[in-house]
């Protein structure tokens, strides 16, 4: 039985585990090629010895957005670890209020998210309550889409699309950039008919090169993701007026306010939500609710996550406002070996189960974490 004290969540330590994980094969997007994923896990240890864990999705270099693993590590050490270690929570609503107060620190959302999600995860571990239950998730499975990087040639791309469809992925996303856009998309349409297909340009185009994008209207894409500036809304609204294909925003959306602004401007009809990019589960829930209210389609993107981030994304995607398949698939998509056991896998082709897991720390293979770890830092409540 819980004592009254048992309901108060207090953290005694925040541990940061920096890892370098080689990808099974390099992944190319408009911002560059990734060979090794440099990431870190945040482990939150409670006064009762339970542990929460979350993955920081920042990348080594500021090529996707401005945050990096180094800036996120610094911001957590400087601010967010102390904010978490100084707090006490007696209800999930208090975690949401605490997370909202972190907004007074401008930016650094990937850093905030890693700590905030570890706090939610610790709450689940301490109280033995599934995260899905806390977030209000009712679905028991979610469909998976796949993101296919820029390939050396069209034949290689077609082979990749074929094997993705055979594995059961229900939506194909192609990374594009100038010089790799109309031809690969036309080829996929020719070979695979009307499969749900979309393109992600990661800000590789400008208003001057937007004619290439208008040409893609011929291929009935489900959507086109973030073709213009990484921090822009106005130019995307300009493009959306010229385009039949719905635009989806990823990099430009950092908060529910950004979603509201984008909708008011007509900058997009679809939102790609990455909990790491927007500051965690609290901000994700606000964006989810707003998208439902505004009638915007919503799906969950990916950042080459290990099983830790994948499990969190899959659970979040079980909310009813996630109207389209996301980018989250099995944990072996990028890595030879997942960091969690059992690994994240389809329970039937193309579908990931929403698992009723009470915190992820027991699921993590800590021996593998140590094996790939390049740095460990422990921040203690007693040292504040
Ligand atoms: Mg994207």
Sequence spans of domains, the chain: 5-129+365-383, 134-353
Q: Can 5-129+365-383 and 134-353 be said to share one CATH topology?
A: no
Minimum mean pLDDT range among 31-40, 271-280, 372-381: 31-40
Mean pLDDT over residues 325-352, rounded? 94
Whose structure tokens read 């900058």? 267
CA dist., res. 257 & res. 109, Å (int): 14
Instruction: Return the exposure string of 219-245: e unless at least 16 CB atoms fall within 10 Å of the residue's CB, then b.
Output: eebbbbbbbbbbebbebbbbbbeebeb
Cβ-Cβ contacts under 8 Å for 114 (sequence gap 6 or more): 40, 42, 54, 55, 56, 57, 72, 76, 276, 280
For the purposes of burial, counting CB atoms within 10 Å of the CB of 384, is it exposed (0-12), middle (13-18) or buried (19 or more)? Answer: exposed
CATH number, span 134-353: 3.20.20.120
| Three-state SS at 198 | strand
| Residue 1 confidence (pLDDT) above 50 | no
Per-residue model confidence (pLDDT) at position 332 = 87
Mean pLDDT over residues 242-248, rounded? 98
Summarised one tens digit per residue, pLDDT across range 138-183 is 999 999 999 999 999 999 999 999 999 999 999 999 999 999 999 9
Q: What is the pTM of this model?
A: 0.96
pLDDT-based confidence at residue 5 (cuts at 50, 70, 90): very low
| Residue 2 confidence (pLDDT) above 60 | no
Going from the C-alpha of 9 to that of each of 211, 264, 283, 304, the distances in angstroms are 54, 39, 21, 31
Classify domain 5-129+365-383 at the CATH class level. alpha beta
Summarised one tens digit per residue, pLDDT across range 106-141 is 999 999 999 999 999 999 999 999 999 999 999 999
What's the CA-to-centroid distance between 175 and ligand 1, angstroms?
A: 8
Summarised one tens digit per residue, pLDDT across range 193-229 is 999 999 999 999 999 999 999 999 999 999 999 999 9
Q: Which of 112, 160, 173, 175 is catalytic?
A: 175
CA dist., res. 360 & res. 114, Å (int): 13
Would you give the distance in Å from CA 293 to the centre of its chain?
A: 22
Average pLDDT, the chain: 96
| Residue 249 confidence (pLDDT) above 90 | yes
DSSP letters along 276-340, please? HHHTSHHHHHHHHHHHHHHT-EEEE--SS--HHHHHHHHHHTTSTT--S-BS---TTTT-SS-SB
CA dist., res. 22 & res. 350, Å (int): 25
Per-residue model confidence (pLDDT) at position 307 = 97
Residue 160 annotated among the catalytic residues of the structure: no
| Residue 326 confidence (pLDDT) above 80 | yes
What's the CA-to-centroid distance between 3 and ligand 1, angstroms?
A: 46
Per-residue model confidence (pLDDT) at position 384 = 86
- Beta-carbon neighbours within 5 Å of ion ligand 1: 200, 225, 250
Q: What percent of the chain has pLDDT over 70?
A: 98
What's the CA-to-centroid distance between 274 and ligand 1, angstroms?
A: 10
What's the CA-to-centroid distance between 303 and ligand 1, angstroms?
A: 9
Per-residue model confidence (pLDDT) at position 3 = 40
Per-residue model confidence (pLDDT) at position 4 = 40
What's the CA-to-centroid distance between 205 and ligand 1, angstroms?
A: 13
Per-residue model confidence (pLDDT) at position 13 = 98
Summarised one tens digit per residue, pLDDT across range 259-314 is 999 999 999 999 999 999 999 999 999 999 999 999 999 999 999 999 999 999 99
What's the CA-to-centroid distance between 225 and ligand 1, angstroms?
A: 6
CA dist., res. 353 & res. 143, Å (int): 9
What's the CA-to-centroid distance between 135 and ligand 1, angstroms?
A: 24
Whose structure tokens read 């929403």? 354
What's the CA-to-centroid distance between 200 and ligand 1, angstroms?
A: 6
Residue 175 annotated among the catalytic residues of the structure: yes
What's the CA-to-centroid distance between 103 and ligand 1, angstroms?
A: 24
Mean pLDDT over residues 356-379, rounded? 97
What's the CA-to-centroid distance between 113 and ligand 1, angstroms?
A: 18
DSSP letters along 335-371, please? -SS-SBSSPP--SBTTEEE----S-STTTB-HHHHHH
CA dist., res. 202 & res. 193, Å (int): 25
Per-residue model confidence (pLDDT) at position 351 = 98
């Amino acid at each position: 039985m819980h004592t009254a004290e048992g309901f108060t969540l207090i953290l005694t330590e925040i541990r940061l585990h920096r890892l370098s994980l080689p990808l099974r094969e390099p992944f190319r997007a408009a911002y560059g090629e990734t060979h090794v994923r440099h990431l870190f896990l945040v482990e939150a240890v409670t006064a009762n010895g339970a542990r929460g864990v979350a993955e920081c999705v920042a990348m080594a270099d500021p090529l996707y957005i401005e945050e990096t693993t180094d800036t996120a590590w610094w911001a957590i050490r400087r601010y967010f670890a102390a904010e978490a270690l100084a707090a006490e929570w007696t209800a999930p609503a208090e975690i949401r209020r605490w997370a909202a107060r972190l907004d007074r620190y401008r930016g650094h959302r990937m850093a905030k998210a890693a700590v905030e999600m570890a706090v939610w995860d610790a709450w689940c571990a301490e109280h033995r309550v599934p995260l899905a239950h806390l977030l209000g998730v009712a679905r028991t499975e979610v469909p998976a889409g796949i993101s296919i990087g820029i390939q050396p040639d069209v034949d290689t791309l077609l082979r990749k699309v074929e094997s993705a469809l055979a594995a059961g992925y229900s939506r194909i996303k192609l990374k594009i950039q100038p010089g790799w856009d109309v031809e690969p998309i036309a080829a996929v349409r020719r070979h695979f008919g009307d499969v749900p297909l979309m393109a992600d340009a990661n800000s590789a185009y400008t208003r001057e090169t937007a004619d290439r994008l208008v040409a893609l209207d011929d291929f009935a894409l489900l959507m086109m993701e973030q073709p213009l500036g990484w921090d822009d809304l106005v130019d995307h609204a300009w493009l959306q007026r010229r385009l039949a294909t719905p635009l989806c925003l990823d990099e430009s959306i950092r908060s529910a306010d950004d979603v509201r602004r984008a909708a008011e401007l007509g900058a997009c009809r679809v939102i790609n939500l990455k909990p790491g990019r927007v500051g965690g589960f609290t901000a994700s829930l606000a964006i989810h609710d707003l998208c439902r209210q505004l009638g915007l389609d919503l799906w969950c993107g990916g950042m080459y996550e290990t099983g830790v981030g994948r499990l969190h994304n899959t659970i979040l995607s079980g909310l009813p406002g996630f109207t389209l398949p996301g980018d989250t698939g099995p944990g072996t998509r990028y890595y030879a070996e997942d960091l969690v056991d059992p690994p994240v896998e389809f329970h039937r082709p193309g579908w990931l189960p929403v698992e009723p897991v009470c915190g992820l720390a027991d699921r993590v293979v800590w021996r593998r974490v140590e094996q790939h770890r390049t740095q460990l830092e422990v921040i203690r409540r007693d040292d504040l």
